[in-house]
Structure 1
Amino acid sequence: MKRSSTPNTTTSSRMKQQPSSTPSRSKNLSKGRKINKTINETIGDFKIEYNPTTNIGALTLDLKNSKVNILTSKVLYQLDQHLKKLATLPIKILLIKSAKPKSFIAGADINEIKQILKSPTHTKIIAQGQNIIDNIAHFKAPTVAVIDGHALGGGLELALACTYRIVSSESYTKLALPEVTLGILPGFGGTQRLPALIGLNAALKMILKGTAVNGSKAYRLGLADKVIPSAYISFELPKFIDQVNRNPHSLRKDRSRRLRRHFPWIVALATKLALKPILRFTRKQLLKSIGPHYPAPNKVLKIISQTYPAVTTEKIKHGLALERIGFLELLKTASTSHLLALFHHSTMLKNKAIVKAAPLNQKSSTSHLKRTLKKSHFPIEQSLVIGGGTMGAGIAWLMSHHNLPVRIKEVSWEAASSGYQKLLAIHNQRERKVGQPQQVTTAELSRTSFTTSWTPVHNETLVIEAVPENLELKKNILKTLERYCSQDTIIATNTSSLSIDQLARSLKHSERFLAIHFFNPVHRMKLVELAPGPKTDPELFATVGRFLKKQNRIVIPVKACPGFLVNRILFAYLNEAMKILEETKDIETIDASLKDFGMPMGPFRLIDQIGLDVCAHVAQCLSKAYRHLPNPLKAYKKLNQRNWLGQKAGTGFYAYASGQPMGVNPELYHELYGESALMKRTFTSEKIIERLIMAMAHESLIALELGIVQTPWELDLALLYGTGFPAFRGGILRYIDTLTPAKAFKKFERLKDFYGDHFTPPAILKDTVSRNQLFYND
């Protein structure tokens, strides 16, 4: 029961009253009166069609003033009324469609979901929505959901209630039940109908992980009855309808239905043998992967354990009642409140205009640009990446993946060959992990080319420099690049630690220069920090931001500073971890404590994964800018001298075998601390967590105070997507609000007394406490 949000519909009682906007024309669908004429009219948000010759009806949803269809209470009310009227006609098949391009139904209204608990009749409200969807399942004629685009949450649950589902084969078509990622569960029968349709194992993967499937996968699972290219749906749909009318048992799903109907003992026996072991194994996996912090998946398992397989009306009715209870229980938890807020802010970020984060130091000149700022924006049609290393290959993949021709510039054909292998490795991984078809790999690789010459640069719209983090090397490349590129070329750097101002000074026309900081690996990390130089043109900055959003990136505009936002905060966190290690000589306890807090891994596993050589270089750059923080550079250099570079080298803070940690590196403590390796202090997990998370919180507050990022929620989203900060806690600033700013202030004062001035309470926190405010007002 999910998915998108709309700002103008939050009244949860609308299902109880008829909307005034429904025209009296609906009387045309008269009670029991024989209809001899074609119906083709729009009532509210639905187009209603009926052909008396074929007795085929259709309901097409087109929610007004919205890019996507959402199951608001008003839409559900209209759907219920139209179903009741259509049931009076001699319909043989009812089609349910969407008028929105590339979208079926994006789910329920998040704003309404957040308001449900405020209503004294919240249980009744959910029951009404369930009953309306259930009316589709019990409609007098077969129903067919025609899905060409996203069917998410409540949208997929509506489709599951239909007798059949036709799904387009386009890459944009995704079917998913992502409710658990918001801390809730499918509330319109998803926990009942999906397992009964595609089997327990496949359904659990979709429900517990929110995994989306495309049309082909949906057909293989039995979720779709037909997969058709979008352009051919109108031609193939009549054939499918004819097949349903003439011989429905020829459809694969109908054969499986007959098995359940005529041989129920087979289903019962299989369920009895498999259910408990499957659920037991799944619970263990959940505990291992997400810990005890997310209650929704376990709530889903509890419901399914009591109702699977929901093949009878009575069982489904019982399952819907359990869904209602579980849904409302989850809505009352803090983790669900935080997850819903993060989703709301993620939606806000997608729709927010990209604004240059830093003020202009001086008036920029755009006279050299052929296009004036009065035109909409500069079209980005071709791209070039300088450097085919790990980051360069990842950026090139992103461009080609989104249908943009991309060229990789390397210093030699040997280096270009290495870059091609890295690019190929990304595609191979996607083929294994996400089922990317081979033809997609071929198409994307065909949009990628290599060069060792500067000459082709003149034709590129966007050039991204992605060479190693060496200031002089990057400055020389930018100078050379400007000699060869056109006057309209946008020039970007992917630096994560060097000074943007110094790089900008190497260019004559730095108004077309900015930083696009992708995160590694690019094909998995959607976050991008967008930072301007001192003279970057605001319209060009906004154009690049819009371009990245079209590439499905999560774009956070930041002010240019060493490390930008995420690496600056991460630097403080990892440095404090190194300081605690110096005191405790106990890597395992530190890492385990942060895992218990909810981080995806402990700080030392993270350093090993990043690479100690990379961390040493970043520390060398950032320690000069942030002298108030502990400096771990000496420790990193010692480990680098032993070639202990982390996971990629087989040894770092941990020893590795086949990429898996086998325990703490046995020589580590002696190498770092010599004779003092035996001098240890013992900290509780609570103290370790407090010190590390407050170190992260301290630098986050300073970044907000300095305007490095524009809003608290953008900072929290950046850390969520950039560091894996636990989503159930809502973000680092939400975490401070949960503590209360006053208590956080006292913690900082105490930590300052024990561990140093780098915990001095920031001025922005002191101001927030004095005004008795929070960082969030929701």
Structure 2
Amino acid sequence: MARYSCESQSVALITLTNPPVNALSYAVRQGILAGLRKASADPAVKSVVLCGANGKFCAGAEISEFNSDPTRRLPMLVDIINLMEKSDKPVVAAIEGVALGGGLEVALGCHYRIAQCQAKVGLPEVTLGILPGAGGTQRLPRLVGVNAALDIITSGRHMLASEALKLGIVDEIVDSNTVEAAIALAKKAEGLPIGPRRICSKTVQCPDNLEAILDEATKKIKKQARGALSPLVCIQAVRMATQLPFSEGMKKERELFNTLVTSGQASALRYAFFAQRAVEKWTTPSGNWKTAVALPIHTAAVIGLGTMGRGITVSLVKAGIPVIALEDNQRQLDIGKKAVEALLGQVAQKLEPPENKNDSNLLSRVKYTLNFAELRDVDLVIEAVFEDMMLKKGVFRKLTAVCKPEAFLCTNTSGLDVDQIASVTTRPERVIGTHFFAPAHVMKLLEVVRGHRTSPQTIGTVMKLAKALNKIGVVVGNCPGFVGNRMLAPYSENACFLLEEGSQPEEVDRVLEEFGFAMGLFRVIDLSGLDVGWRSRREKGLTGPELPPGTPPRSRNGKRYCPIPDLLVENGRLGQKTGKGWYQYVKPGGRVSSPDPWIQDFLKSYRLTHNIKTRYIDQDEIIERCLYPLINEGFKILEEDIAAGPEDIDIIYIYGYGWPKHTGGPMYYAWTVGLPKVLSKLEKYSEAYPDVPSMKPSNLLRKLVSNGSPSPSQWRTVTRPSNSKL
């Protein structure tokens, strides 16, 4: 709803009240409209102030209403904004907290805008697969120009009030008492001409190189948001603002909005929006997000200052948590310290407001040591040493001896058995896996791995910490590779089989990138290093000197095996770090790749050696053989209850593995493709490649198809296993 009151003899105050963020629900829209009409009809009212309750202006549309009864969409927000803008009484927006999406569009319809200095504004509709549909694409270019409008609308980014002031989005910023300042501004505006304050009456200032600007924006979007429709349509809408009168541009905006809002991509992005919120509500047999009492973390320790440890340390410091960073020798400690300080220097430069850009404030939060005894009083420890079970167990034995009994002990592992690590401690209920993703101070995902005896309080505390670190925590069960890396294995395996049969790395990557991945699989492997996977395979006995003599080169335990990645490592091709991997680079450590003739010759020789008849493999088969086994593994994970639902898997893959968000994630994508089709293709490939177990369809997939392929929200009701890992 929206509350109407008169704060002085001449100023009416309309307060949006829809906790927690004053979303523009049906009731709120009705309330705004009623308030505007009441103010217009009251001769004593000379001006209006629009604000939000509880220190938040408005975070935009009520997304749950997108699929609602059309009659619930009236009054339309666009009509309310137009009415407000046409008012002959000045309307002032008092922006506190956030003015996002429809909230900013409402503010743009006001004649004046005043913001509290910490408020954020933006038009994030593009992240939901739509565009600002209440005048945002038509008013913003008229207010700030084409360049700024394109950046704001196509990125969906949020900006602080200080930037909004520089751009002209707001007229004034204040430190506090925003509503009082808005009332004072409203009184000053009484009697002043309103016409010049109506954005709709302005014309877009078109630069001479307008077409070049629009073309460059299109190229940028196609590169950065591969396959995403809404950013490109946003550019079309901004183009309309430069070519058409306001009223005609608004009609085009509405047409484009209606096209997008009913698209498959918008549906997928709305699913992802709600999935991200659903994963916060974790449940285990012994407790859940409601009942677990999370403890505050005042101090933390990080053990190991390699790549992951450095990023984790920076994440904690950014969250305001003092850190004790420990290494096992002075040289590694010095190297780690230098790297952490460099990262913190970069972080400091990005902080707002400018007075926070003081490196020393951040650097003072980290203490470096070689002594485990200094960890005795920390609330939480994150172990980030090398991925070796014996090494990690040794660390946890020491932690058990020195840390206070109530301290939480976390292991940053990408797939080792959390229960084994916990077994060497006297407090397994306080041990939990925290799988960060590299770079840890940038990547949003945190796999929170529950061991057999991990307590609900431990889970709750780490999930709360994830939020403090600005990460998305997803609770998963304990199994080799957990969720993300377990699904990655069949993806990588089958991509390599394609190379054996005739594909080139760049061909596979091109298809995956056209699908929407920012980087194809082989580019990603070059980035992380081919030696990472090689070490894992060696530890499993799949390659290396301990492989039994006479082992067939392309078979392991009766299953198909591709030794090509092992052979590349043996040839010193480790990826970007050596300048050669699946691709070649100008120099070691370089980022610009090109296809390597050596790889082509090597693959040709390999196929001849193993008498493999090559063939042309089209893009459909590449997608099916790379992604369907990954999806199939996801169904097995659900069947075993390693993940609570498809939403958990989809969020893990969107935020941890670069799965294109506009497809909703792997499990949602499978549903949109059609579960019967996925099943049929897996059956086809399983028959063709009986020695590839990842192609054998999961029982859950078969069960879902036999149950009519219900939507992902209903999958968990189809089966609930007795051998739950959650």
Q: Scaled by the length of structure 1, what TM-score is found? A: 0.82
1:755 to 689, 697, 703: 689
Alignment-derived partner of residue 764 in structure 1:
700
Encode CA deviations 1:392-427: one digit per residue, 9 max, x unaligned.
111112212122222211223432332233323434
| Closer, same or farther: CA 134–514 of 1 in aligned 2, 3 Å | same
Alignment-derived partner of residue 87 in structure 2:
139
Question: Retained in 2: the 8 A contact 1:130–1:320?
Answer: no
**What amino acid is aligned across from residue 593 of structure 1 in structure 2?**
V
**What amino acid is aligned across from residue 284 of structure 1 in structure 2?**
K
Per mean C-alpha deviation after superposition, the further-off stretch among 600-609 and 138-147 is 138-147
Please state if 1:280 is matched with 2:237.
no
Alignment-derived partner of residue 139 in structure 2:
193
Please state if 1:59 is matched with 2:14.
yes
| Closer, same or farther: CA 766–235 of 1 in aligned 2, 3 Å | closer
Please state if 1:384 is matched with 2:312.
no
Alignment-derived partner of residue 6 in structure 2:
49
Alignment-derived partner of residue 290 in structure 1:
225
Give the distance between the partners of 1:737 and 1:234, measured in 2 at CA: 48
Question: Retained in 2: the 8 A contact 1:497–1:621?
Answer: no
1:664 to 595, 617, 630: 595
Please state if 1:355 is matched with 2:309.
no
2:23 to 67, 70, 74: 70
1:334 to 261, 264, 276: 264
| Closer, same or farther: CA 618–228 of 1 in aligned 2, 3 Å | farther
Give the distance between the partners of 1:225 and 1:623, measured in 2 at CA: 66
What is the CA-CA distance between 1:544 and the residue it aligns to? Answer: 2.0
After superposition, where does 1:322-471 map in structure 2 within 5 Å?
Answer: 322-350=252-280, 352=281, 354-356=282-284, 376-430=293-347, 437=354, 439-440=356-357, 442=359, 443-471=361-389
**What amino acid is aligned across from residue 166 of structure 2 in structure 1?**
R
Unaligned stretches of 5+ in structure 1? 1-43, 364-372
Please state if 1:687 is matched with 2:627.
no
SS in 1 for 2:511: helix
SS in 1 for 2:137: helix
What is the CA-CA distance between 1:166 and the residue it aligns to? Answer: 2.0
Question: Retained in 2: the 8 A contact 1:619–1:631?
Answer: no
| Closer, same or farther: CA 107–386 of 1 in aligned 2, 3 Å | same
Question: Retained in 2: the 8 A contact 1:45–1:75?
Answer: yes
| Closer, same or farther: CA 375–538 of 1 in aligned 2, 3 Å | closer
| Closer, same or farther: CA 540–621 of 1 in aligned 2, 3 Å | same
**What amino acid is aligned across from residue 337 of structure 1 in structure 2?**
S
SS in 2 for 1:273: coil
What is the CA-CA distance between 1:199 and the residue it aligns to? Answer: 1.0
SS in 2 for 1:517: strand
Alignment-derived partner of residue 104 in structure 1:
57
What is the CA-CA distance between 1:669 and the residue it aligns to? Answer: 4.6
Question: Retained in 1: the 8 A contact 2:131–2:234?
Answer: yes
Question: Retained in 1: the 8 A contact 2:89–2:190?
Answer: no
Alignment-derived partner of residue 49 in structure 2:
95
What is the CA-CA distance between 1:542 and the residue it aligns to? Answer: 2.1
Question: Retained in 2: the 8 A contact 1:464–1:492?
Answer: yes
| Closer, same or farther: CA 533–335 of 1 in aligned 2, 3 Å | same
1:719 to 653, 665, 673: 653
1:653 to 571, 575, 582: 582
Alignment-derived partner of residue 7 in structure 1:
none
Give the distance between the partners of 1:60 and 1:127, measured in 2 at CA: 18
**What amino acid is aligned across from residue 126 of structure 2 in structure 1?**
V
Give the distance between the partners of 2:193 and 2:541, measured in 1 at CA: 70
**What amino acid is aligned across from residue 209 of structure 1 in structure 2?**
S
Give the distance between the partners of 1:673 and 1:498, measured in 2 at CA: 37
After superposition, where does 1:212-611 map in structure 2 within 5 Å?
Answer: 212-229=158-175, 231=176, 233=178, 271=206, 273-291=208-226, 293-308=227-242, 315-350=245-280, 352=281, 354-356=282-284, 376-430=293-347, 437=354, 439-440=356-357, 442=359, 443-584=361-502, 586-611=504-529
Alignment-derived partner of residue 182 in structure 1:
128
| Closer, same or farther: CA 375–747 of 1 in aligned 2, 3 Å | closer
Please state if 1:169 is matched with 2:98.
no
Give the distance between the partners of 2:604 and 2:303, measured in 1 at CA: 41
What is the CA-CA distance between 1:730 and the residue it aligns to? Answer: 2.0
What is the CA-CA distance between 1:453 and the residue it aligns to? Answer: 1.4
CA RMSD of aligned residues (A): 3.2
Please state if 1:113 is matched with 2:66.
yes
**What amino acid is aligned across from residue 37 of structure 2 in structure 1?**
K
What is the CA-CA distance between 1:205 and the residue it aligns to? Answer: 0.8
Per mean C-alpha deviation after superposition, the further-off stretch among 499-508 and 203-212 is 499-508
What is the CA-CA distance between 1:432 and the residue it aligns to? Answer: 6.9
Give the distance between the partners of 2:705 and 2:200, measured in 1 at CA: 63
| Closer, same or farther: CA 482–629 of 1 in aligned 2, 3 Å | farther
Alignment-derived partner of residue 632 in structure 2:
698
**What amino acid is aligned across from residue 399 of structure 2 in structure 1?**
L
Give the distance between the partners of 1:436 and 1:97, measured in 2 at CA: 24
Give the distance between the partners of 2:248 and 2:541, measured in 1 at CA: 61
What is the CA-CA distance between 1:212 and the residue it aligns to? Answer: 1.3
Question: Retained in 2: the 8 A contact 1:431–1:438?
Answer: no
SS in 1 for 2:66: helix
**What amino acid is aligned across from residue 240 of structure 2 in structure 1?**
Q
What is the CA-CA distance between 1:488 and the residue it aligns to? Answer: 0.7
Instruction: Report the identity percentage.
Output: 31
| Closer, same or farther: CA 630–509 of 1 in aligned 2, 3 Å | farther
Encode CA deviations 1:617-676: one digit per residue, 9 max, x unaligned.
34445788x9797555x4444333444222233222111237333312333355577454
Encode CA deviations 1:364-407: one digit per residue, 9 max, x unaligned.
xxxxxxxxx99944332211111122111111122121222222
Give the distance between the partners of 2:445 and 2:637, measured in 1 at CA: 18
Unaligned stretches of 5+ in structure 2? 543-555, 715-726
SS in 1 for 2:416: coil
Question: Retained in 2: the 8 A contact 1:386–1:463?
Answer: yes
Question: Retained in 2: the 8 A contact 1:397–1:523?
Answer: yes
Question: Retained in 2: the 8 A contact 1:271–1:309?
Answer: no
**What amino acid is aligned across from residue 379 of structure 1 in structure 2?**
P
| Closer, same or farther: CA 393–272 of 1 in aligned 2, 3 Å | closer
**What amino acid is aligned across from residue 74 of structure 1 in structure 2?**
A
Alignment-derived partner of residue 13 in structure 1:
none
Encode CA deviations 1:723-767: one digit per residue, 9 max, x unaligned.
122222222222222233222222111101222341111111122
**What amino acid is aligned across from residue 61 of structure 1 in structure 2?**
L
Question: Retained in 2: the 8 A contact 1:716–1:732?
Answer: yes
What is the CA-CA distance between 1:493 and the residue it aligns to? Answer: 0.2
Give the distance between the partners of 2:597 and 2:670, measured in 1 at CA: 38
Give the distance between the partners of 1:461 and 1:341, measured in 2 at CA: 36
Question: Retained in 1: the 8 A contact 2:631–2:666?
Answer: yes
Alignment-derived partner of residue 546 in structure 2:
none
What is the CA-CA distance between 1:90 and the residue it aligns to? Answer: 3.7
Per mean C-alpha deviation after superposition, the further-off stretch among 422-431 and 508-517 is 422-431
What is the CA-CA distance between 1:139 and the residue it aligns to? Answer: 2.5
SS in 1 for 2:133: coil
Alignment-derived partner of residue 151 in structure 1:
99
